[in-house]
Chain A
Amino acid sequence: MGILARAGDLRLSRRSFVVSALFAGGSLIIAPRLIGTAQAAEAAELNAFIRIPPAGPIELVIASVEMGQGVYMGLSTLLAEELEVGLDQIVAVPAPANPALYSHPVLRDQITGGSVSIRGFWEPMRKAGATGRLMLVAAAADRWGVPAASCRAESGEVIHAASGRRLAYGELAQKAAGMPVPQDVPLKPASAFRLIGKPARRIDTPAKVDGTARFGLDARPPGVAFAAISICPTFGGTLGSVDDAEALKVRGVRKVVRLSDAVAVVADHTGAARKGLAALRIDWDRGANASLTTQELERRADAAMAGDALVAVNEGDVEAATGGPVVEAVYRMPILPHTTMEPMNCTVHVRPDSCDVWVGTQVAGRARQTAAEVTGLPVEKVIVHNHLLGGGFGRRLDHDGVTMAVRVAQQVEGPVQVVWSREEDVRHDSYRYLNLSRIDIRLGPDGMPVALRHRVVGPAIMARFLPIFFKDGVDFDIIDAAESPYRIPNKRVEFARHEAPEGMLTGNWRGVGPTRNAPAIEGGIDEAAHLAGIDPVEYRRRLLSGNPRLLAALELAAGKAGWGGDLGPRRGRGVALMAAFGSFAATIAHVHVGPDGALKVERIVCAVDCGQAVNPEVLHQQVESGIVYGLSAALYGRLTIEQGAVVESNFDDQPVLRINECPEIEVHVIESGEAPGGIGELGTPGVAPALMNAIFAVTGKRLRALPIDTAELSGS
């Protein structure tokens, strides 16, 4: 069961939004009210999704932020499909920060994450488009004195074929706003889609190849100053003393800002700010975490594994299943950074009566809220100018950077851009915290599992992040996919909540819960197959009766990867499956392991069923992207803690995959008319277990910890 299904009462019901329309600012505005709460808003503040001006392109307001996942393209496609306009007739504009108006229908906050943008907006966007189209057609029919049924809409015009008359939407905007708003508008069947599922060039990319795209770091409000920041490296520590004599001598340095836990140097440009920061002599009070090490954190997690846990899933009776061989294993996942390509940054202008924030964030509403809280201003006095995101991956779901930047800006005259160095970005992330999984699979006489127990030890991120996904002590995200997609009569998932030390921020990371659980589940099932003496693909096949979509993905991947064919010496394949985010994926890795343990990932084949694809090319891109992200983590991802601080700091000591290491990647898509599933996170979870299983196939060595330790493979 997926995370959304678990919070089933929150699913969008057909009646939970109504569409309204008005004429304001010279434009026809179509606004579906997404959540039942808001006594919807003043006319001027309607959550417009479509603005049709008298002339010029139609504006489509995109409530989700663009971080590479193609959501401008995706949501525009949904609106344009039903509105009957071409993608060349529209411009996508980001929604302002206002959770009352632009909240995600399921997450109930203005959040982009969890691969739910298309799923949440799939129906409301199309309804908004269809409503607009029907009103425009009605307006034209009225003007011409002909029945609406004799008119049709096409490419931004209403056409009366019998008389050859046509009117552009812009010319009809004002009149259309006065037409009755149709209710329960019918939506096109998939067979009539003209844009959805059809190849079309992304609309956000031309500006990203000529340097004109504006990310948060490119915000340049007039008079902006630049600040470099150093935050206490030890989590939860504070600033002791600072000697800034040398820093203030650096040309271009204007000021040194002291905060309780950080210090920033403000200058004419970032170069001077960084030079000034390097010239500071800082003493930190490292506080309670001063002696913390990775070993100690792992010891604490082990203790949590041995302690109490809550039962989160209980099917059948795992206790009653006795006898037979058992697979028992503990899988260990490290602390991971996000290392988005664009380091954390935020530009802020605090004035006595207002505050402007320029940032690329997945949580614009929360960014606005924190700025209001820090400054004491009413939330309406804070304007968030959301920008493109140079990668999100979950990092920009937290607004700690905004909070910090506002605190700096409070001590600066005029706007200031606070820039985290890569080192600061790595050392002050919202980490994926370490977690452990103990898997316990009991086999029946035929070698197939009769009982599965999975104990998950890790933090409950949802308790703070989205409490609607935290119930009775159980975090729905961290146990997402923990029970496996397999038909096993008795299953139990236990959750032992284990939080990071105070002061260390932990958060969401690409692939969220399913990425945490996949290594243990897919590794464990592989171990069971081996114990039973059954081929790993065949073993999974037998466990998938009742899951035809996942089975089809497995068959497709196995076929494309040539499963079972001989690869020659020191080469092998491994498989991993994933049912999550409303989608299905089968990943097969093909590796070479040298006698010295050197690992080369040669090829990754991934077959996916994501329901109806909104844009097939974006789907391919996203799965490829998720795979590469997963590979970086599987091969290299691990942060070390000493003195309560992260030791690693940049791409030299926390490497990520580079082009010369990138395997051949093949994504195969199963065409489907089912409701669209998530695509942004789907590629990531299967990578690590597919690699570990492939390594086992080559070497007979079962790895149960990430990242992959090639030293363990030498001589195998």
Chain B
Amino acid sequence: MAFSLNVNGRSYAIDVDADTPLLWVLRDVIGLTGTKFGCGVAQCGACTIHLDGQAVRSCVTTIESAGTSPITTIEAIGDTPTGHRVQQAWLEQEVVQCGYCQSGQIMSATALLNENPAPEDEDIDAVMAGNICRCGTYPRIRAAIKSAAAGVPAGKGG
């Protein structure tokens, strides 16, 4: 079946089965490989994208359910003010190690800050617990979210 997808402000005609997860459409059909595969069952958050501004796990979100709602991926999140601030905070706090989980972390953190501009630790836990990082960058993710929330570059992480 043919679907019309709206990704990062562009529209794409996609001809796949209705139950195809958006993850593979983005990565393999459209070629936007910034969104990552980690588990396939909504356990790790590596595949997080924004659908209509909400963070969703693209590995379990079918193309059919997406309809024509706008999709934003890591490739374009830097064009939004919050996304840009989060990326900068990530670099300032030296969050990133292997980097594989970080697309999803940044998408989740951006959605969190859009929703709640000044999150407490518990708010960060509640939202970010869905994103696994095997390199163990959690303490720096927490610091970076706080510094992005403050909107000013904080001191270095530790």
In the bound complex, residues from chain A placing their C-beta under 8 Å from that of B87 are 209-210
> Using an 8 Å CB-CB cutoff, how does the interface string of A371-407 with B read, 1 for contact, 0 for none?
0000000000000000011111100000000000000
* B153 touches A (CB below 8 Å): no
A624 contacts B by Cβ under 8 Å? yes
Q: Which of A218, A419, A625 contacts B136 (CB 8 A)?
A: A625
State whether A651 touches B39 (Cβ < 8 A).
Answer: yes
Q: In the complex, which residues of chain B have a beta carbon less than 8 angstroms from the beta carbon of A268?
A: 28-29
Which of A211, A214, A657 neighbours the largest number of chain B CB atoms within 10 Å of its CB? Answer: A211
A343 and B136 in contact, given A271-B23, A388-B98, A651-B44 (Cβ under 8 angstroms) = no
Binds B, one of A199-207, A317-325, A498-506: A199-207
Q: Does B31 contact A (CB under 8 A)?
A: yes
Size of the B side of the interface (Cβ < 8 Å), in residues, is: 63
B52 on the A face (CB < 8 A): no
Q: Is A212's CB within 8 Å of the partner chain B?
A: yes
Within B72-126, which residues are at the interface with A (CB < 8 Å)? 73-75, 77-78, 87, 90-91, 94, 96-103, 106, 124-126
Question: Residues 117-143 of chain B: 1 if any A CB is under 8 Å from the residue's CB, otherwise 0?
Answer: 000000011101101111111111110
Known: A210-B75, A218-B33, A269-B16. A625 touches B135 (CB 8 A): yes
Contacts of A275 in B (CB 8 A): 17, 19-20
The reply to whether A269 and B40 form a contact with Cβ atoms under 8 Å apart is: no
Task: Determine which residue in B101, B102, B139 has the highest number of CB atoms from chain A within 10 A of its CB, and name it.
Answer: B139
CB distance from B75 to the nearest CB of A (A): 4
The minimal Cβ–Cβ distance linking B140 to chain A, given in whole angstroms, is 8
Stretch at the interface among A235-243, A512-520, A658-666: A658-666
Minimum CB distance partner of B73 in chain A: A211
How many whole Å from A337's CB to the nearest CB in chain B?
11
Report A283 CB to chain B, min CB distance, Å.
24
Residue on A nearest B90 in the bound complex, by CB = A209
Query: With contacts A199-B156, A341-B46 known, is A208 near B102, CB below 8 A?
Result: yes
Is B17 a contact of A650 with CB atoms below 8 Å?
no
* Number of A positions contacting B (CB below 8 A): 72
Assembly CA distance A206 to B20 (angstroms)? 31
Which residue in chain A gives the minimum CB-CB distance to B32? Answer: A211
Whether B16 and A209, one on each chain, are in contact in the complex, defined by CB atoms closer than 8 angstroms, is no
Q: Say what secondary structure dominates the interface of chain B.
A: loop
Residues of B within 8 A of A422 (CB): 38-41, 44
Assess A208 versus B29: contact at CB under 8 Å? Given A270-B24, A667-B158. Answer: no
Chain A nearest CB from B89 CB (Å) reads 10
Is A120 an interface position by the 8 A CB rule?
no
Do B33 and A220 have beta carbons less than 8 Å apart? Answer: yes
Question: How near does chain A come to B79, taking the closest CB pair, in angstroms?
Answer: 10
Provide the residues of chain B in CB contact with A390, threshold 8 Å. Answer: 36, 98-101
Which of B24, B28, B98 has a CB less than 8 Å from the CB of A391?
B98
CA distance A226 to B106 in the complex (A): 27
Whether A660 pairs with B129 at a CB distance below 8 angstroms is yes
Contacts of A652 in B (CB 8 A): 41, 43
Asked whether, in the complex, the Cβ of B91 is within 8 Å of the Cβ of A341, the reply is no
Question: Contact partner of B138 among A202, A206, A626, A662, CB < 8 A?
Answer: A662
Q: Which residues of B contact A650 (CB under 8 A)?
A: 39-41, 43
Least Cβ–Cβ distance between B18 and chain A, in angstroms: 10
How far apart are the CA atoms of A494 and B132 in the complex, in Å?
A: 39
Please name 27 pairs of A and B residues whose Cβ atoms are closer than 8 Å in the assembled complex, sorted by A: A68-B96, A68-B99, A68-B135, A209-B91, A209-B99, A209-B102, A210-B34, A217-B37, A268-B29, A270-B37, A272-B20, A274-B40, A275-B17, A275-B20, A341-B44, A341-B132, A388-B99, A389-B98, A390-B36, A620-B158, A624-B136, A624-B139, A625-B136, A625-B137, A631-B136, A650-B39, A658-B138
Query: A269-B16, A342-B98, A659-B141 known; 14 other A-B pairs, CB under 8 Å?
Result: A210-B74, A210-B75, A218-B33, A271-B28, A274-B40, A339-B134, A342-B36, A390-B101, A422-B44, A625-B97, A652-B43, A658-B129, A659-B129, A666-B158
